[in-house]
Amino acid sequence: MSPDETQSIQSEQLVQLAKKVYDTVPFYQKRMNELGVTPGDIKSIADISKLPFTSKDDMRETYPLGLLAVDQTEIVEVHTSSGTTGKPVVDAYTIDDIDLWSEVMARTLGMGDLTNKDIVQNAFGYGLFTGGLGVHYGARRIGANVLPISGGNTIRQLAILQDFKATALTCTPSYCLYLAEVAEENGIKFSDLNLKVGFFGAEPWSEKMRKEIERKLDLKALDIYGLTEIIGPGVASECLEQDGLHIFEDHFYPEIINPDTLQPVAEGEKGELVITTLTKQGTPILRYRTRDITFFRSGSCACGRTHRRMNRLLGRTDDMLIIRGVNIFPSQIEEVLFNIDHIEPHYQLVVERVNHLDTLEVQVELNEKSFSDEVRKLEEYERKVEKELHTALGIQAKVKLMEPKSIQRSEGKAKRIIDNRQI
């Protein structure tokens, strides 16, 4: 499709979207009224800058179904973001949305040349997390044989890989390296297996990791991108050229803005990725600020696909950490610590990558009055904090007690995170 044709479709879709959200989602009607915009002002895709942004906070505040644009009976499936406190981000799908998701995920798998002859070992987690079912629907759509093994249970993963001769693997990049390590320990050679391509996402990774994955697993490693707020995986994906991620812009319209001025950056400059769902029915989203930093790649891709490409992610505009696929904000950790006796709400997070898996150490200060001269009691405090963090955030963290007032205080922005991962 030529850029002109794409734009004309996008324009038509945006006009309908603006009208739909104004009429059916009170949140967007209010926001548009505040900006003095009416659906009639939106005549083409160029008018998108007139529409309001949506932030993660907006999505939390409208939890659980405040952004619904259809009658609740039309919703057939709900997913939420992974591991967040009380209010996760919700994506509610109509039957058409599941169809759309299947379509964009089929395209994603098609990027790796998968067909109905392929066998997909899907090691993304199944459940409220979007990874597992997203890949599942895509594999079903292309008629591939999907092995819905979900995450973890590494020895079994390797047995299934061998026995069912999977040709494609989907999981987080760090888990894939862990899998490679366990395989090596068990004398399993990937060169003896049938894997030809892997689709990896849900956490940051680098070219260096890609090289390592490709060498160890003897396959082509593709970077896939998506987020619960938009649909889950299936927003953008690399093709076998591995030269940027094609954004499925006929459904997800991308902008790149300066996060301070909120204006579009100049062509090819890096900035914050903003996405509008052009065709989603259940929870359509206007101009979602992803906080992910990237830039549009120029020129056309050698694969011949015309969808615009973005560079692999360069970082984030906020302090969100992704630990083993779970998104964590330091503020969430703070909230948990605030409600625990015996410790002060001062903390520092140390993230390491040990044997390809991320580890999180939470250093907290002992409350001076709680010091009791007994090792057992202090260790109990540590276990208690670990348990609370696990309950609230779904993460395994190691808690380390520090002396009161030993964690650096600073005016304004404290240095809360020490990220030693060499990604």
Residue ranges that bind another protein, judged by CB under 8 A = 366, 368, 371-375, 378-379, 382, 400-406
From CA 169, how far away is CA 279, in angstroms rounded? 29
Determine whether 367 is exposed, middle or buried from the number of CB atoms within 10 Å of its CB (0-12, 13-18, 19+).
middle
Considering beta carbons, is residue 23 or 380 the nearer one to another protein? 380
Q: CA–CA separation, 129 vs 181, rounded Å? A: 25
Min CB(408)–another protein separation in Å: 13
Nearer to another protein, 316 or 398 (CB): 398
User: Closest CB to another protein among 66 and 345?
Assistant: 345
Q: How far is the CB of 385 from another protein (least distance, A)?
A: 12
- Return the number of the residue (61 or 380) whose C-beta is nearest another protein: 380
Nearer to another protein, 189 or 409 (CB): 409
> What is the phi/psi pair of residue 49, to 5°?
-65, -15
CB of 409 to another protein, least distance (A): 13
- Minimum separation from the CB atom of position 387 to another protein (A): 16
Contact 336, 392 (CB under 8 A): yes
* Residue 136 Cβ vs another protein, minimum distance, rounded to whole Å: 42
User: Which position has the token pair 């007994």?
Assistant: 374
Asked if 125 and 151 count as a contact pair (C-beta separation under 8 A), the reply is yes
> Mapped to the 3 state alphabet, what secondary structure does 176-211 carry?
HHHHHHHHHHCCCCHHHCCCCEEEECCCCCCHHHHH
Which regions of 231-287 does DSSP assign to beta strands (E)?
232-238, 245-247, 252-257, 271-277
Q: How far is the CB of 382 from another protein (least distance, A)?
A: 7
